[in-house]
Amino acid sequence: METTTEKNTATFTHLSTLTQYFIPFGNYIFPIILWSTKKDESEFVDHHGKQVLNFQLSLLLYSLLLIIIAIPSFLISVFKDMPLNTLMHDHEFTYSNFNFDGNIGLLTLGLICVLIFGLLKVAEFFLIIYASIKTSNGEKYKYPITIPFIK
């Protein structure tokens, strides 16, 4: 049976990932601090700390993969047919050779990646809240689509 302190620490470990909206890398820094202070004292806190960090690292990996796909697909589709000597005239950017039909595949791929990224961020927010509720009730929660980096 978990104590109230263990439940609260594990819950705050989940909720501390929401600091990413205010502090850069807060979704890694604060969970690591909370988890590392109590991981040796409580198996419940240790389990949830690992889950939080694995979930955040998995989302980082998925986001990087989506960015690696989206940015080149947009850049290639925009600059594919542009001659290098006509990029700038009198400090104005002119581009008249864009062929939408020839670039529809790459543009679609880039837009799909951006859409998936947006859905991933929305799902992350709700999964964090859901995990916090489950944890505060004393249940062990495991995030979906998580790669177990820390075992």
Residue 81 pLDDT greater than 70, yes or no = no
Amino acid present at 38: K
* End-to-end CA separation in angstroms for the chain: 22
**What gap in Å lies between CA 56 and CA 149, rounded to an integer?**
10
**Residue range 88-135, pLDDT digits in tens:** 555 666 556 656 677 788 888 999 999 999 999 999 999 999 999 999
The count of other CB atoms within 10 Å of the CB of residue 37 is 13
Per-residue confidence (pLDDT) for residue 97, from 0 to 100: 61
Per-residue confidence (pLDDT) for residue 59, from 0 to 100: 95
Higher pLDDT, 85 or 118: 118
Largest CA distance in the chain: 73
Give the position of tokens 């581009």.
95
Per-residue confidence (pLDDT) for residue 77, from 0 to 100: 78
Q: What percent of the chain stands above pLDDT 90?
A: 64
Burial class (CB in 10 A: 0-12, 13-18, 19+), 120: middle
Structure letter (DSSP) for residue 149 = S
Degrees (nearest 5) of the Cα angle 33, 36, 42?
130
DSSP-H helix ranges across 1-151: 4-15, 26-38, 43-79, 104-136
**What gap in Å lies between CA 75 and CA 144, rounded to an integer?**
32
Residue 85 pLDDT greater than 70, yes or no = no
Per-residue confidence (pLDDT) for residue 2, from 0 to 100: 80
Q: How confident is the model at residue 78 (pLDDT cuts 50, 70, 90)?
A: confident
Per-residue confidence (pLDDT) for residue 151, from 0 to 100: 86
What value does the mean pLDDT take over residues 63-81? 86
Identify whether the C-beta of residue 60 lies closer than 8 Å to the C-beta of residue 24: no
**Residue range 33-49, pLDDT digits in tens:** 999 998 899 899 999 99
Q: Over the chain, what is the mean pLDDT?
A: 87
Per-residue confidence (pLDDT) for residue 74, from 0 to 100: 82
